[in-house]
Structure 1
Amino acid sequence: MLNISNVEIMRGVKVLLSEASACIFPKHRAGLVGRNGSGKSTLFSLITGEILPDKGEISVPRDWTIAAVAQETPGLDQSAFDYVLDGDKRYRELEQQIKIATESNDGMRLAALQEKFEESGAYTINSRAGALLLGLGFAMEDFQKPVKDFSGGWRMRLNLAQALLCPSDLLLLDEPTNHLDLDTVMWLEDWLKGYQGTLLIISHDRDFLDNICTEIIHIDNQKLVTYAGNYSQFESERAQKIALETAMLEKQQKKLQHMQSFVERFRYKATKAKQAQSRLKAIEKMEKIVVAQADSPFSFSFARGDSLPDTLVRMENVEAGYGRTVILSDIKLNLRPGSRIGLLGRNGVGKSTFIKTLAGEIPPLSGSLSISKGVKIGYFAQHQLDYLDPDGTPLSLLTRLAPDKRELELRSYLGGFGFGGDKALEQVKSFSGGEKSRLALALIVWQKPNLLLLDEPTNHLDLQMREAIVIALADFEGALIVVSHDRHLLRTTTDEFYLASEGRVRPFDGDLDSYHEYLTELDRKKREVLLKEKELKKHEKIQNPGIKSREQKRQDAEKRQILRPLKQEVSKLENEMNLLNAEKEEIEKALSDNTIYEESQKENLKTMLARQADNQRKLEETEMTWLEKSQELENMQKELEIS
């Protein structure tokens, strides 16, 4: 098991952990929670051995392999697929050792390495890496793109794929959902449920913690406190603990006051001096009860606005997109005061395009978009964080919006968002992503919007700030449209869902569980539809063999001509795979014969093992190429509408 014993961690003069202890047993799934800056990520660094504790010790079983997500990704020319394969260091080591043994013609060494190679599951590594990339939202055409071509968020997904690919006994995930959309979060959740090792997660997504974790480790008052169950159970148990500790503290305070009163009255009287001294020593030895802090440092609310018209926004037959590229069409929406809409849809289907069109960031390509008089839009998007003046401070940025307000009032307001005291005077360029998000929200809320458009507002925010947003939105009287991967936020702040899919935005009849089922079934249904379409076209050809015009026949011939080289390539690859599989069976049969391991057959064994390694490499490469070309052919057939 992973054992943390009386650990102390200092950061400068600040104590993060003091006499902190916890045990994490094999195959347990623990969520590590606590306020920002409490030492969660630092504890991960201790476990991986990057840093050492100031006091105490952390012991990890020697035979455990630890996998963690790298926090930085250099701009490499290496392909995304090869970069993910690097996550399995044992595979790369065996691959290199086999290469050396093959070049040196060391048959016995090669035989031993081949056995280890097979035991490690290396023969399935390409398919596992491909499945991870697809699950994390990459398209097959992305596999061979260089890492440097991906944005920061997509590079973090590559780092996550590396960690998941690595065969590990302990998996450390630090905010794994930050750069993911809702669909990918749900996929990751399902993947982690099947993980066989020990799992330790830092996350501010309470639904994610609820669905994955079997215990919660809370950093509280510089200690590690373990609670059985998921996050909701932790919250409930902790609330009871706080209530009990508060009652105990009140009782202790009364006892202390009584004892202190006795001491002050009688400490200088000879007849009572001994009793007074005894009580004084008891007071000094009494263990002070420290009540866990339940109150969030964040507190804000949306101001009540003026009365609003019955319809805030009306969209009729709107097309949305960029330039001549239409992303969404036939959008119809009547947005009324009190509307609370969660916008669902897979990555890249147009959710942000829809929000930007409503916000006036991009004009509609066609149709009618009318916003009623008096509507004040508050729009939050991740890219807006880049427009915060890096040299400004929370106080200076808010003063620009409210030059007539007193500094005391502005400081009091900023304190509700965690920018109290000197923090209000720090420059934005020194802020973390979470602090920038809080500041952007503070500036939006100050402007008293009555229509909120929120595109992933909780990225980088901790649980306390997320809960403050939920509470504030509960009393918000205007209209709300939100895109988020935070299911708790969606469940508690929206009362209807819309789905962006196949170029449309339509009401979604169901909840988030229904949406999960919808995603799970979507690919299967698409395959069924394609098969039915092909069967129908074949049937039509049989029933009406001669109805096509000369022009139609000419067009079909042209389409077949376009497809012919790709079909031939796929067929050629299938033949190569058949030959390689036949060779594989032949080699395996030869190696199963015990006589080949005799001294007289040493050279034959070396040759056979070298053939096996070469065969496996070629087979994997051919299978991957066949998969890519088959997908390309299917896409082209669909585009040209040829069965």
Structure 2
Amino acid sequence: MIQFKNLTLARGAKILVQGASFQLHPGHKVGLTGANGAGKSSIFAMLRGELHAESGDLDIPPHWVIAHVAQETPALNDAAVEFVLDGDVELRSIEQALAALENAPEAAGSGERIAELHMRLSEVEGYSAKARAAELLSGLGFTSADLTRPVSDFSGGWRVRLNLARALMCRSDLLLLDEPTNHLDLDAVIWLESWLKEYRGTLMLISHDRDFLDVVINHIAHIEQQKLTLYRGGYSDFERQRAEKLAQQQSLYERQQRDVAHLNKYIDRFRAQATKARQAQSRIKALERMELISAAHVDSPFGFSFRASISAPDPLLVLDDVDAGYNQLAVLKHIALTMRPGERLGLLGRNGAGKSTLVKLLAAELQPLNGKRVEGKDLNIGYFAQHQLEQLRLDESPLQHMLRLDPQTREQEHRNYLGGFDFRGDMVTSPCAPFSGGEKSRLALALLIWTRPNLLLLDEPTNHLDLEMRHALTLALQEYEGGVVLVSHDRALLRASCDKFVLVADGKVEAFDGDLEDYRDWLTQQRLKEKNVDLVAEVESDKSSNKQDRAQNKADRQARQAERRPLLKESEQIEASMAKWQAEKTELDSRMAKPEIYSAENKNALQDILKRQAELTKQIDQAEERWLEIHEILEAIPAIA
């Protein structure tokens, strides 16, 4: 087991944790929570042996294997499946030892050692290792064709998934996962939580996804005011315990009662409008549960609301028999969708099905291939997607961004508004270049909300946001009276914010009659169907001996090859450019990390670096967007057998 014995941990002069004492037993699954900067990542570094306690002891059994997700992935030529297999270090060492002995001239005299190695290979399930690695990759969204692609072929987000698969491949005693769902879509999140529930070792997890935490973990280790306290139960149990503690503080209690009364008012209004549809009832339950959640977050540093729209046409936006895609190849066909004020749609669908394509179509970033996209008069779209973070001016502060957006409003009013997003003190006037991903997301949301949109398009808005900010966003969305289209892997946000769900699958956009539990069942059925289809296809392929069929198949393959070839070539060119730009950006980032660059005499050099960083970020972002478009098109072209 792991023992914390009166442990104190510091970073420089700052004490992060003081006097922590508790035990983690094998099989414990622990969610590590606390405010940004409280010390969660430092505790992970200490468990990995990269940091040491100021005082006290941390005891970890010396024979334990510790697995974690690497932050960087080199552009290797290794096949994806081989890269994942490298996560099992003992397996690789056995394979290497066997290869050396079996190929040696004196192999005949090493029979006993070879037999021992084969026995150990069997014990570590080495003969099924490649199948297990393929299953991990499949669960995380990779196709069978991806297994043999070199690691260098994959973009940044997909390399993060490769690193995660490699960590899961390791037969570890302690698994450390820091925000593992950040780069996953909903079906991969659901698969991962099922895998982690079956994991037999000790798990420590940093996550801002409350549903994910509730399903996976059985303890919470919470950092607050330099105290690291272990709570028994899931995240919801922890929230209840913390709410009771905070409610005893009168000033916070009064604020809590105001929030709960406000939320109850909204629940009553929604209940009166709701149909008996299961998803509507599910949303009512989610909102009722938020009373308890609100109580646990009354001391949150975030508090904001959407500004009322100046006007709202009805309908806001109509898609009439629209086809959408890229380079005249439709990814989605015959879309019929009408958005009205107050409607809240959650988009469901597997990775690559076209959810982001639909959102781009709604945002007018993509024009219809066929059909009509009709905007209501005075439509004002607020579109949030991760690539929009790169449009922030890195050398400007949050206050400068607000003044640029609305120079007529008084500076103090902008400061007050930014305070609701926890931009306070010096942070309001500091350049946003060194901001974390979460801080940039908060700033982008603040800028979007200020524009008074009457239609919100939110594509994974919670990436990099902590639990407190996610809760504040959920509360703000309850007040918002415009239309909402939401893509998110955060099921708590989907449940509390969406009245209807739309399924994007098989090139279609259709209403989904069910809630998120029904969607989980749908995903399971899809995976079973795919396995059955693959099995039937194998059998049929073995039976097929008709020459005419073979000739037709050959013609089809040649046609698909001709269609795919220019796309694959463009994809390779993009990947080569991205690798070069990433290398240059990494070098600039290292220069930015040196204190001397911020001196007065280096002011011009700093400005040049910031400018080049922004250019590279934009180039990389545009390249990744095009790469994704290409691969959506490639997925729409039937695979070449």
Global fold match (TM > 0.5): yes
Say whether residues 1:558 and 2:551 are aligned partners: yes
SS at match of 1:143: helix
For residues 405 and 136 of structure 2, the distance between their equivalents in structure 1, rounded to whole angstroms, comes to 46
Amino acid at match of 2:370: S
1:421 alignment counterpart: 425
For residues 548 and 397 of structure 2, the distance between their equivalents in structure 1, rounded to whole angstroms, comes to 65
1:130 alignment counterpart: 134
2:326 alignment counterpart: 322
> Does the 8 Å CA contact 1:559/1:640 hold for their aligned counterparts?
no
For residues 79 and 354 of structure 1, the distance between their equivalents in structure 2, rounded to whole angstroms, comes to 32
Cα separation, partners in 2 of 1:405 and 1:80, compared to 1, 3 Å: same
> Does the 8 Å CA contact 1:22/1:224 hold for their aligned counterparts?
no
1:7 alignment counterpart: 7
For residues 252 and 309 of structure 2, the distance between their equivalents in structure 1, rounded to whole angstroms, comes to 44
The two structures have a TM-score, normalised by structure 1, of: 0.76
For residues 126 and 408 of structure 1, the distance between their equivalents in structure 2, rounded to whole angstroms, comes to 60
> Does the 8 Å CA contact 2:80/2:150 hold for their aligned counterparts?
yes
1:574 alignment counterpart: none
Q: Which structure 2 residues correspond to residues 145-294 of structure 1 after superposition, within 5 A?
A: 145-244=149-248, 294=298
Q: How many equivalent residue pairs?
A: 520
1:550 alignment counterpart: none
**Bigger mean CA deviation after superposition, 446-455 or 318-327:** 318-327
How many Å apart are 1:382 and its aligned residue?
Answer: 0.7
Amino acid at match of 1:321: G
Q: Any unmatched runs of 5+ in structure 1? A: 251-291, 542-552, 566-634
Cα separation, partners in 2 of 1:302 and 1:43, compared to 1, 3 Å: same
> Does the 8 Å CA contact 1:87/1:163 hold for their aligned counterparts?
yes
Say whether residues 1:389 and 2:393 are aligned partners: yes
For residues 420 and 447 of structure 2, the distance between their equivalents in structure 1, rounded to whole angstroms, comes to 12
Taking only the aligned residue pairs, the percentage that are identical comes to 50
Cα separation, partners in 2 of 1:225 and 1:514, compared to 1, 3 Å: same
How many Å apart are 1:529 and its aligned residue?
Answer: 6.7
CA deviations on 1:327-378 (whole Å, 9 max, x unpaired) are 1110111111100000000011110011011111111111111111122110
1:462 alignment counterpart: 466
RMSD of equivalent CA atoms: 3.0
Amino acid at match of 2:38: S
2:363 aligned to 344, 359, 363, which one?
Answer: 359
How many Å apart are 1:89 and its aligned residue?
Answer: 0.7
Say whether residues 1:521 and 2:525 are aligned partners: yes
SS at match of 1:429: coil
Say whether residues 1:505 and 2:509 are aligned partners: yes
> Does the 8 Å CA contact 1:20/1:222 hold for their aligned counterparts?
no
Cα separation, partners in 2 of 1:478 and 1:638, compared to 1, 3 Å: closer
How many Å apart are 1:525 and its aligned residue?
Answer: 3.1
SS at match of 1:310: coil
Amino acid at match of 2:100: I
> Does the 8 Å CA contact 2:310/2:452 hold for their aligned counterparts?
no
1:589 alignment counterpart: none
> Does the 8 Å CA contact 2:325/2:332 hold for their aligned counterparts?
yes
SS at match of 2:486: strand
2:147 alignment counterpart: 143
Cα separation, partners in 2 of 1:556 and 1:335, compared to 1, 3 Å: same
How many Å apart are 1:482 and its aligned residue?
Answer: 0.4
For residues 321 and 561 of structure 1, the distance between their equivalents in structure 2, rounded to whole angstroms, comes to 27
> Does the 8 Å CA contact 2:88/2:169 hold for their aligned counterparts?
yes
For residues 468 and 146 of structure 2, the distance between their equivalents in structure 1, rounded to whole angstroms, comes to 37
Cα separation, partners in 2 of 1:131 and 1:422, compared to 1, 3 Å: same
Cα separation, partners in 2 of 1:161 and 1:30, compared to 1, 3 Å: same
1:18 alignment counterpart: 18
For residues 352 and 119 of structure 1, the distance between their equivalents in structure 2, rounded to whole angstroms, comes to 44
For residues 381 and 31 of structure 1, the distance between their equivalents in structure 2, rounded to whole angstroms, comes to 28
SS at match of 1:430: coil
Cα separation, partners in 2 of 1:7 and 1:46, compared to 1, 3 Å: same
Q: Which structure 2 residues correspond to residues 469-618 of structure 1 after superposition, within 5 A?
A: 469-526=473-530, 556=549, 558-559=551-552
How many Å apart are 1:513 and its aligned residue?
Answer: 0.4
How many Å apart are 1:449 and its aligned residue?
Answer: 0.8
How many Å apart are 1:225 and its aligned residue?
Answer: 1.2
Amino acid at match of 1:76: L
- Please identify the structure whose Cα radius of gyration is greater: 1
> Does the 8 Å CA contact 2:187/2:350 hold for their aligned counterparts?
yes
For residues 636 and 235 of structure 1, the distance between their equivalents in structure 2, rounded to whole angstroms, comes to 44
For residues 249 and 377 of structure 1, the distance between their equivalents in structure 2, rounded to whole angstroms, comes to 37
Cα separation, partners in 2 of 1:21 and 1:294, compared to 1, 3 Å: farther
Q: Which structure 2 residues correspond to residues 291-440 of structure 1 after superposition, within 5 A?
A: 294-440=298-444
Q: Any unmatched runs of 5+ in structure 2? A: 255-295, 559-634
Say whether residues 1:119 and 2:123 are aligned partners: yes
Cα separation, partners in 2 of 1:332 and 1:534, compared to 1, 3 Å: farther
For residues 411 and 183 of structure 1, the distance between their equivalents in structure 2, rounded to whole angstroms, comes to 40
